[in-house]
């Protein structure tokens, strides 16, 4: 296990340099990505607080022998880049007996929940889904990311979005967990476009993260 930019009080300029990417690549065939974190409020019915409704996207590579033609190859290269980056640190730590005991108890609780779910809802645990029949074909899926640097980052993603917006002829749909704009971006979006622009994002109905939604 490695940690990206672990907290270092001697380097305050790194405090806000967070890694927020979330994706899983399975057998060079499946790519699952989205905004969902790991926590009870994202998954468990027994969670008593306010749920967070995040979008997950499944991308299926129908030719796992040729990763060069699939976005999965781009994600694998991106992961390798993050894994070997200077900001990524491998840590070997020991935990206290109390924390180990709490972890063991929690593991047992989750095992019981899993066992109960398998008995009451067997369908989601069916390992024989025909995922190809449940997905839609695409002409192209691309990975776009900003440079992995500290402090101000060159807006590579924004530049790509602007290029797509100016080339679009019919419609362009943006979907993001949070859309935070300044007055220049708002002014830019209010210009006349040859295509219809649609922005889809969260609100307080789907996420309790008010401060992120407020920008």
Tens-binned pLDDT, residue by residue, of the chain (215 aa): 888 888 888 888 888 888 888 899 999 899 998 877 776 666 656 656 666 667 788 999 988 788 888 899 999 999 999 999 999 988 877 888 999 999 999 999 989 988 998 888 888 787 777 888 889 998 889 998 888 888 888 888 888 888 888 888 888 888 887 777 778 878 877 888 888 888 888 777 767 767 666 65
52 is a domain residue: yes
Do residues 138 and 194 both lie within one domain?
no
pLDDT at 204: 73
pLDDT at 134: 87
For 29, the domain range is: 2-144
Do residues 70 and 102 both lie within one domain?
yes
Do residues 167 and 137 both lie within one domain?
no
Last residue of a domain, one of 144, 178, 203: 144
Number of domains in the chain: 2
- Model-wide pTM > 0.85: no
Do residues 124 and 84 both lie within one domain?
yes
Last residue of a domain, one of 144, 172, 188: 144
HSE toward the beta carbon, residue 48, CA cutoff 13 A: 0
Last residue of a domain, one of 144, 175, 191: 144
Do residues 140 and 169 both lie within one domain?
no
CA distances from 80 to 64, 76, 88 (A): 18, 6, 11
Do residues 85 and 187 both lie within one domain?
no
Do residues 42 and 9 both lie within one domain?
yes
- Distance of alpha carbon 50 from alpha carbon 120, whole angstroms: 24
Do residues 6 and 36 both lie within one domain?
yes
pLDDT at 80: 94
Do residues 139 and 161 both lie within one domain?
no
41 is a domain residue: yes
Do residues 40 and 112 both lie within one domain?
yes
Residue 120 is inside which H or E element, if any? Answer: helix 97-120
Do residues 42 and 61 both lie within one domain?
yes
150 is a domain residue: no
Do residues 140 and 162 both lie within one domain?
no
């Amino acid at each position: 296990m490695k940690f990206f930019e672990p907290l270092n009080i001697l380097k305050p300029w790194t405090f806000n340099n967070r890694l927020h990417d979330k994706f899983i690549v399975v057998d060079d065939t499946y790519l699952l990505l989205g905004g969902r974190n790991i926590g009870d409020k994202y998954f468990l019915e027994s969670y008593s607080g306010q749920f967070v409704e995040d979008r997950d996207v499944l991308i299926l590579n129908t030719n796992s022998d040729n990763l060069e033609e699939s976005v999965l190859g781009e994600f694998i290269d991106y992961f390798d880049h993050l894994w070997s980056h200077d900001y990524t640190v491998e840590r070997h730590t020991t935990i206290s007996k109390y924390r180990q005991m709490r972890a063991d108890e929690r593991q047992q609780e989750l095992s019981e929940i899993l066992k109960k779910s398998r008995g009451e809802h067997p369908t989601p645990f069916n390992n024989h889904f025909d995922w190809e029949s449940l997905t839609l074909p695409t002409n192209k899926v691309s990975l776009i990311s900003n440079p992995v640097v500290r402090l101000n980052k060159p807006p590579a993603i924004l530049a790509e979005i602007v290029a797509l917006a100016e080339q679009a002829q019919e419609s362009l749909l943006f979907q993001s967990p949070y859309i935070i704009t300044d007055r220049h971006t708002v002014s830019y979006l209010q210009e006349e476009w040859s295509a219809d622009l649609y922005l889809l994002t969260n609100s307080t109905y789907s996420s309790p993260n008010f401060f992120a939604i407020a920008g």
